[in-house]
Every structure is written in C-alpha cells, then in structure tokens.
Amino acid sequence: MSDTRWTPGPWQNDHGLRVYAETPAGFALIASTKHTDASSGDAALIAAAPDLYAALEKCKRVLSDLPSTNQGGTRTRAAYDAARAALAKARGEA
C-alpha cells in the first residue's frame, strides 16, 4: 500500500463506535459511528479496510498472472476487473 493517501493500518475498532489507528504522533480517529443496530458491523468493516485493501491487491496480482485472465477467460477477467475497480475506488480514483 505504498501509494495510498490514508492513515496506515492496522486500524482498531473501539466497541463498534469508533475506529482509530495508533500513529507515531498518537491516536488518529479514522471514523465514528452513531449507535445503531448496524454500527458494530460498520465499525468492524471500516477497521478491516487496510487489511482488505492489501488482500485485494494480492488477489489482483495473482489474477493478473493467470493465463486465462490475459487470454479472454471471462470469470477470471471479471474478477480482475472488479478488484481493479474496487482498489481504484478506495484510492478515490473512481
């Protein structure tokens, strides 16, 4: 994730209400949620974002090396394109 413009992970979920990261300068608040039925799940998903981004980058690299991705394999090409689009969206490029 060297080309990212966000606070490096890991991010921590504070009981479903806040997501923060520990930085050299102290704690950085990443997000806070309102207390709703979904807030715990929302905070967990947000806290997982750096790990999800890194995992999807690895998947995209593996998919790009598969012959079927580059030779018109529709399932692998679709997965590669979806990964590429999601990564671009996370970087604010979509």
* pLDDT tens, residue by residue, 14-50: 877 899 999 999 999 999 988 888 888 999 999 999 9
Contact of 51 with 41, CB cutoff 8 Å: no
Query: What is the number of other CB atoms lying within 10 angstroms of the CB of residue 30?
Result: 20
Whether 55 shows a pLDDT value over 90: the answer reads yes
DSSP string, 30-58: EEE--SSTTHHHHHHHHHHHHHHHHHHHH
Query: What is the number of other CB atoms lying within 10 angstroms of the CB of residue 22?
Result: 13
pLDDT of residue 68: 75
Q: What is this structure's pTM? A: 0.82
The rounded distance, in Å, linking the Cα atoms of 6 and 81 is 23
pLDDT of residue 3: 64
43-52: pLDDT as tens digits: 999 999 999 9
